[in-house]
Structure 1
Amino acid sequence: MIALIVPCYNEEKRLHMEAFTAARNLGIDFFFVDDGSKDKTAEMVAQAAQKHPFIHLVRLEKNNGKAEAVRRGMVEVQKKTHIDENSWIGFWDADLATPLTEIPKMLEYAKLYAKVDSIWCSRVYRLGADVKRSALRHYLGRGFATLVGELLHIKSYDSQCGAKLFKPATIQNAFGEKFIGKWVFDVEILLRLKNFEVIEYPVTEWHDVPGSKVKIHREIFRVFWEILKIRKKYIKN
């Protein structure tokens, strides 16, 4: 089976439930984690859950940030579903900037490797791919990847794409403990999974969706401070 955590905070205007319900043929259970939204996000999901057994709502009492919403979602999935070693558990951005149709392609791509514990989507500009990303976000992303490469020794082209799948054996290592940062937590997952096989899948389609809650160019100093705290905890030399 495939179970996807979808963290949501005030996503009423960007959450298109019909796109998720239309993906029923992909065999996915969706766990929408409402992170203390003040709009009608939770109500939208609850209405869909009444009609579709593969839609689930997890409500958090207050806004904790994406990192904790994803982590709590991972815990709930293990409680509510039958997970075996062949299952995949992941998280996916609510705006569907990465289409759900990428999932079968991710799983096919993983077959090129002898062993895969986690698959991370990566927004690589290349011939044949439909990747539409603003120039600002692209260059900030390249700068971020360079920074974490130097400070955290991470060799990821694009750790921040919000579409990832994990084997059940990785969940406790990756999500058992709270994250240092509220948003820049993906690199922390990579550091926690240093003994697992993590691959990057170059997406065939990705479209920038307006309305993101993360404004990296406005919060660059907070992001840098979080990276330093992560380095202090995980990098010993």
Structure 2
Amino acid sequence: MSSAIIVIPCFNEETRLEVLQFRKYALAHPKHQFLFVNDGSNDRTALILDDLKAAVPESFNVLHLSQNQGKAEAVRQGMLQAFQSDVDYAGYWDADLATPLEMIPDFIHQLDQVPQLSLVIGARVKLLGRQIERQQLRHYLGRVFATAASTVLQLPIYDTQCGAKLFRNSLQSRTLFSTRFLTNWIFDVELLARSRQLEKFYQCDSLETTVYELPLNRWQDVAGSKVKPHDFLKAFFELCSIYWNYLRPSIKKPFATLSVQTGSDQIRKVA
């Protein structure tokens, strides 16, 4: 199986980190590594992560941020470090394991089987035979937001906010994380908006052909989530910011520079 690094952003996760689950998975999948990003936690999270790394250093690594910078920046810094490794794929997963670790091989299998894919996104679709347990209010608020995000992105995507995503380790993927995000709550949508810009300015393949939504077999709301219902209001303001900064027709240059390899020549377009 292909190699992968999964970034786990952590902020005050002392009571929710399932250390045994991570160790059990690492033992069964030696080609998969975890990079925990301690986002300035002020509880015992740092000590727990350091102990985990000391116990199994070949499977676990820790990046400590000196102060809390928010999930978006924690994920971004973790992904940049992960991409520097010689792995096939890098992604991020929620620390509470609402999406079980056992789903990771399914994400990897999809990227292995379809070379043109650059990103696999988990989708919390409640179907017969699947165990998707979400609070009713959050589910319906999420559906309204997902519809708005789909409209802004002009992309028929079902679930932008699931905290399980896996990227192919490529120049294009690295470029998506090269600069700080403008948003914090919905940086997942901002990543897709950045991809739209790469389509526009660098003629990259479209999201419709490079992104795959994988319906999850199991997902469960975990107590202690830091996302509250009123945060969905913030998300709509951030969605407006994403449209204005990335997707409005009058934008003349992209958010970052991408080097495009064509045969033996390298073409660099400067933002």
Per the normalisation by structure 1, the TM-score is 0.92
- Say which one has the larger Rg: 2
* Alignment correspondent of 1:234: 246
Deviations along 1:122-179, whole A, 9 cap, x unmatched? 0011122111111111111101111112233232100100001001113322211111
After superposition, the Cα gap between the structure-2 partners of 1:82 and 1:150, relative to the gap in structure 1 and judged at 3 Å, is: closer
* Alignment correspondent of 1:137: 138
Deviations along 1:64-97, whole A, 9 cap, x unmatched? 1100000000122234x323xxx11000000001
Unaligned runs of 5+ in 2: 197-203, 250-271
Q: How does 1:168-207 map to 2 (within 5 A)?
A: 168-169=169-170, 170-194=172-196, 195-196=204-205, 197-207=210-220
* Alignment correspondent of 2:224: 211
| Percent identity of equivalent pairs | 39
* Alignment correspondent of 2:161: 160
Query: Does the CA-based 8 Å contact 2:145-2:236 persist in structure 1?
Result: no
* Alignment correspondent of 2:104: 103
After superposition, the Cα gap between the structure-2 partners of 1:171 and 1:8, relative to the gap in structure 1 and judged at 3 Å, is: same
* Alignment correspondent of 1:69: 74
Q: Distance between the aligned counterparts of 1:40 and 1:63, measured in 2?
A: 15
Unaligned runs of 5+ in 1: none
Q: Distance between the aligned counterparts of 1:183 and 1:222, measured in 2?
A: 8
Verify: 1:30 aligned to 2:42, yes or no: no
* Alignment correspondent of 1:220: 232
1:208 CA drift (Å): 1.0
Letter of the aligned partner of 1:68 in structure 2? E
Q: Distance between the aligned counterparts of 1:89 and 1:114, measured in 2?
A: 15
After superposition, the Cα gap between the structure-2 partners of 1:112 and 1:210, relative to the gap in structure 1 and judged at 3 Å, is: same
1:98 CA drift (Å): 0.4
Secondary structure at 1:45 match in 2: helix
* Structure having greater relative contact order (Cα 8 Å, sep ≥ 6): 1
How many residues are paired up? 232
* Alignment correspondent of 1:21: 23
* Alignment correspondent of 2:86: 82
Q: Distance between the aligned counterparts of 2:213 and 2:223, measured in 1?
A: 25
Letter of the aligned partner of 1:56 in structure 2? N
After superposition, the Cα gap between the structure-2 partners of 1:110 and 1:77, relative to the gap in structure 1 and judged at 3 Å, is: closer
Query: Does the CA-based 8 Å contact 1:74-1:171 persist in structure 2?
Result: no
Aligned CA RMSD, in angstroms, stands at: 1.5
Deviations along 1:178-233, whole A, 9 cap, x unmatched? 11111210011112223451110001111111111111x22233222111111101
1:111 CA drift (Å): 5.7
